[in-house]
Each structure stands twice: as structure tokens, then as C-alpha cells.
């Protein structure tokens, strides 16, 4: 199992080592404000945007994979509950992106929404005007941003929580494109401290049930088992760092 994940990490690194990850958080909350209705319209999971905020960070040089399955007419396939069906089997890009999208770091890729909205009016609570607003906002901060070549990852919640989630998510992506499978060689104290801010204590102790439950879409048909392995190996590194740091303090 380790060999398969390591192989995918190496393939992704070789294909996307040109990526530039800019981890600076950009507040895009106002992109969800409907001027005609004078209220926020956003995915239900984002909560009340009077209190929560929506942030994004930008990645230059990749737009990654399509998330949803389409029929021969190019329309998104939906199940009996009218929910869009995720495309299987996963591509290399979807394998890696879903590893970065575990429960505590849950995010939305700009292009999983953008590509879907070409053939549907609404997806995951997003409308087409959301994407237009977001792209315009990102260009204010990054004039060279090109939505046909570049991407962004979107997070929502209380700023005190979201900042740490974004930082860890962008750190992992940077590690994958620069180190591939060797990202499991070691962990810095800074990354370990981010773990303390992001993950619950039970997970940090290495509880396997907690690891499974927080992996990508655990228990669903499109669950990615690589996300369990990735998280387990990261938790092992975390425990080594914390133990070493504790011993040094004694």
C-alpha cells in the first residue's frame, strides 16, 4: 500500500513541479453577497457569513481534475437524490487533491466548481456569479492570475480556525510538488504545531478509528483509502517530533 501512494506522490511531483503555491489568505467573503437580494448566498456548510469568513489561496500553473461524472451529452450525472455523482476511478490529480481534502482541512477547489458550472446552474451551493466574483477578486490581489491556467483552494469558517487549516493544506501541497514521497522523511516543529491547532486530540494520539473517520469521504463509494495512509504516516511523524521536543525540554 505504501508503494502505491509513494508512486502517486512521485508522479504528481514530476507532473506539477512547476507549480507555485501562494499561501497568502485572501478574504473572498464578499463574493457571496447578492446585491440584488442584499444577503449572503453560499453553500450551507459555510455557515452564516455574518460571522464566518471565506478565504482562498492561489496556486499558479495547474487547474487539476474534473470532479463530477458526465454522460455522453456532457451533462452531470446525478443520483436519485439529485446529488451529482463523483467520477470514478479517481485520476492522479483527484487522488492527490482528495488527500489534501480530509475532514479537518476540507476545502473546495475553484475548478471542481468552475468546470461543473459550465454544464449546470448550481453545484455544491455555488452559482455562476460566485465564480465570476471570486475570479475578479483573486485578480485584484494577483493580477497575473489566469483561471484557465491557475487555481485556488477555498475554505470557510471562523478565521481563527481557517488560517491554520489553509496553512497546513498549502504546506502539504508545497511538500508534494517539491518532495514527492520524501515528504514523509521528517516534519518540522512548525508543522507539528499546526497539527495541534487543526486536529482533535484523539487523532493526534493515533487512534485508527479517528484517522479513518477523518479521511476523505470515509464510508462512501468514493472514499480514498490513500488519505488514511497519508494521515497515518503524518501522525507518526507528528508524534516523533512532539516526543523529541518534549525530551529536549526535560
What is the DSSP pairing of strand 122-123 with strand 151-157?
Answer: unpaired
Confidence of residue 137 (pLDDT cuts 50, 70, 90): very high
Cell numbers for 69: 461524472
pTM: 0.93
Tell me which residue has cell 479517528.
Answer: 210
Joined together, the cell numbers standing for residue 36 give 440584488
Is the pLDDT confidence value at 1 over 70? no
Domain spans, the chain:
2-249
Say what the pLDDT of residue 249 is: 56
Answer yes or no: is pLDDT of 176 > 90. yes
Give the containing element (helix H, strand E) for 151: strand 151-157
What is the pLDDT, as a whole number, of residue 126?
96
- Rounded Cα gap, residues 45 and 218, in angstroms: 18
3-state secondary structure of 154: strand
Report the pLDDT value the prediction gives residue 70, as an integer from 0 to 100.
Answer: 86
Residue 103 to residues 43, 51, 83, Cα–Cα distance (Å)? 16, 21, 20
Alpha carbon separation from 159 to 28, 179, 200 (Å, rounded)? 12, 29, 18
What CA–CA distance (Å, rounded) separates 157 from 197?
Answer: 14
Q: Model confidence over 5-55: pLDDT tens digits? A: 999 999 999 999 999 999 999 999 999 999 999 999 999 999 999 999 999
Is the pLDDT reported for residue 196 higher than 90? yes
Residue 179, pLDDT > 50, answer yes
Dihedral Cα 68, 69, 75, 81, nearest 10 deg: -80
Residue count of the chain, please give it: 250
Average pLDDT on 89-104 reads 93
What CA–CA distances, in Å, run from 73 to 49, 70, 77, 162, 184? 37, 8, 10, 38, 43
Assign 246 a pLDDT band (cuts: 50, 70, 90).
Answer: low
pLDDT band at 142 (very low <50, low <70, confident <90, very high): very high
**Mean pLDDT value of segment 186-212:** 95
74 pLDDT higher than 90: no
- CA–CA separation, 163 and 156 (whole Å): 10
Angle in degrees, CA 237, 242, 248, rounded to 5: 125
* Percent of the chain surpassing pLDDT 90: 81
State the average pLDDT over residues 219-225. 92
pLDDT band at 73 (very low <50, low <70, confident <90, very high): confident
Checking if the pLDDT of 66 tops 80, the result is: no
- The answer to whether 232 touches 214, Cβ cutoff 8 Å, is no
pLDDT score for 64: 82
Asked whether the predicted pLDDT for residue 125 surpasses 90, the reply is yes
All cell numbers assigned to 150:
491557475
Name the average pLDDT for the chain.
Answer: 93
Residue 250 pLDDT = 43
Amino acid at each position: 500500500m505504501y508503494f502505491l501512494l509513494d508512486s502517486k506522490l512521485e508522479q504528481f511531483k514530476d507532473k506539477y513541479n512547476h507549480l507555485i503555491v501562494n499561501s497568502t489568505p485572501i478574504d473572498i467573503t464578499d463574493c457571496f453577497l447578492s446585491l440584488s437580494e442584499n444577503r449572503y448566498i453560499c453553500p450551507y456548510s459555510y455557515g452564516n457569513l455574518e460571522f464566518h469568513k471565506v478565504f482562498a489561496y492561489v496556486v499558479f500553473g495547474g487547474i487539476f481534475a474534473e470532479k463530477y461524472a458526465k454522460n455522453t451529452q456532457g451533462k452531470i450525472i446525478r443520483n436519485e437524490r439529485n446529488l451529482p455523482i463523483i467520477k470514478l476511478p479517481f485520476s492522479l490529480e483527484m487522488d492527490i487533491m482528495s488527500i489534501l481534502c480530509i475532514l479537518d482541512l476540507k476545502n473546495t477547489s475553484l475548478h471542481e466548481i468552475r468546470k461543473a458550472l459550465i454544464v449546470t446552474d448550481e453545484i455544491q451551493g455555488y452559482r455562476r456569479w460566485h465564480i465570476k466574483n471570486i475570479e475578479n477578486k483573486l485578480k485584484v490581489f494577483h493580477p497575473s492570475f489566469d483561471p484557465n491556467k491557475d487555481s485556488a483552494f477555498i475554505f470557510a469558517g471562523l478565521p481563527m480556525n481557517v488560517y491554520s487549516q489553509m496553512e497546513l493544506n498549502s504546506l502539504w501541497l508545497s511538500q508534494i510538488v517539491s518532495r514527492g514521497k520524501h515528504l514523509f522523511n521528517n516534519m518540522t516543529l512548525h508543522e507539528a504545531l499546526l497539527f495541534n491547532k487543526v486536529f482533535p486530540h484523539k487523532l493526534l494520539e493515533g487512534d485508527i478509528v479517528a484517522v479513518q473517520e477523518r479521511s476523505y469521504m470515509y464510508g462512501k463509494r468514493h472514499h480514498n483509502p490513500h488519505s488514511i495512509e497519508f494521515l497515518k504516516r503524518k501522525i507518526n511523524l507528528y508524534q516523533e517530533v512532539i516526543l523529541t521536543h518534549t525530551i529536549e525540554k526535560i
